[in-house]
C-alpha cells in the first residue's frame, strides 16, 4: 500500500491535530480483531482523518504480515508433509522390492547343457491327481543327467509370471524344484531355469509346473 497514491493522499490530506471525533483505543483494538462491521460509522471517520487512517494502516499492515507468516507456515507444513509421504512411499516400495527379491529361490548359476521341454500341447498334460484331459501320454520327453540350462515351453495361452517347477518320483518324492519367471515372446510362453540332475537316478519321473496357489499340471519325463 505504500506506493498507492490514494493511500499516500489519505495519510496527509485530512490533518486532525486535535484528534477531534477520533475513536478511543478500544475501537482500534476491535478493528485489529475484525469485530467492527463494514457499515459502522467509524470507517467514514477513518477515511477523513489522516491520523486515524495512519493508525488503521499500521493495524492493516500488521494483519497482512501475520497472514503472510501464517501462509508461509502452512506452505512449509504442507511441503514437509509431501516430503514425508514421498519418503514413506519410497521406503515402502524398496521394502516390497526386497521382500519380492527375498521370496525368490536362489538357484546356482550353472553353465550346463541346453535342454528344451515342450508342453505346448496341453491335451497331453495331466493334473496332479493323474487324470488326463485327453487320455494320451505320447512322446515322453527326456532329460539328461547333467547340469542343465533348461527352457520349458508352457501350453499355448499360458500367462506370464511366476511359476513353480519340480520333478517328482513315482512315490511322490520331490527330487528337483525351482521357481522361474515365464515370458511371452512371439506368442509362446517359456520359462528359462537352471538345474543339476547329475545325482538323479535314471528312470521315469513326473515333471510338474503351476502358478502359485494353482493346481499342478504334469507330464511324464525320463531322466537318462
Identify whether 75 is part of a domain. yes
Q: Are residues 84 and 132 in the same domain?
A: no
CA 61: distance to chain centroid? Answer: 46
Tell me how far apart the alpha carbons of residues 22 and 20 are, in angstroms, rounded to a whole number.
Answer: 6
The pLDDT-based confidence of 128 (bands split at 50, 70, 90) is low
Per the structure, the count of domains in the chain is: 2
DSSP 145-169: SSEEEEEEEPPTTPPPEEEEEEEE-
Selection from 7-11, 94-98, 166-170 with the highest mean pLDDT: 166-170
Three-class SS state of 128: coil
Identify whether 107 is part of a domain. no
pLDDT for 110 beyond 90: no
Q: Are residues 20 and 81 in the same domain?
A: yes
Kindly report the pTM of this predicted structure.
0.47
Query: Distances from the Cα of 32 to the Cαs of 35, 57, 135, 174, 206, in angstroms?
Result: 8, 10, 92, 83, 87
Amino acid at each position: 500500500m505504500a506506493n498507492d497514491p490514494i493511500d499516500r493522499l489519505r495519510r496527509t490530506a485530512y490533518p486532525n491535530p486535535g484528534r477531534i471525533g477520533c475513536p478511543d483505543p478500544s475501537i482500534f483494538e476491535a478493528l485489529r480483531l475484525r469485530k467492527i462491521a463494514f457499515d459502522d460509522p467509524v470507517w467514514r471517520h477513518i477515511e477523513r482523518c489522516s491520523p486515524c487512517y495512519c493508525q488503521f494502516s499500521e493495524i492493516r499492515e500488521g494483519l497482512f504480515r501475520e497472514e503472510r507468516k501464517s501462509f508461509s507456515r502452512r506452505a512449509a507444513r504442507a511441503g514437509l508433509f509431501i516430503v514425508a509421504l514421498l519418503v514413506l512411499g519410497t521406503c515402502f516400495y524398496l521394502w516390497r522390492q526386497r521382500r519380492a527379491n527375498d521370496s525368490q529361490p536362489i538357484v546356482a548359476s550353472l553353465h550346463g547343457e541346453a535342454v528344451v521341454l515342450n508342453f505346448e500341447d496341453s491335451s497331453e498334460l495331466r493334473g496332479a491327481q493323474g487324470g488326463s484331459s485327453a487320455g494320451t501320454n505320447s512322446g515322453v520327453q527326456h532329460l539328461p543327467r547333467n547340469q542343465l540350462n533348461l527352457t520349458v515351453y508352457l501350453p499355448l495361452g499360458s500367462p506370464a509370471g511366476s511359476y513353480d517347477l519340480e520333478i517328482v518320483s513315482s512315490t511322490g518324492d520331490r527330487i528337483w524344484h525351482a521357481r522361474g519367471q515365464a515370458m511371452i515372446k512371439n506368442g509362446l510362453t517359456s520359462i528359462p531355469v537352471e538345474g543339476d540332475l547329475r545325482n538323479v537316478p535314471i528312470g521315469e519321473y513326473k515333471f510338474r509346473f503351476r502358478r502359485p496357489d494353482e493346481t499342478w499340471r504334469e507330464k511324464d519325463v525320463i531322466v537318462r
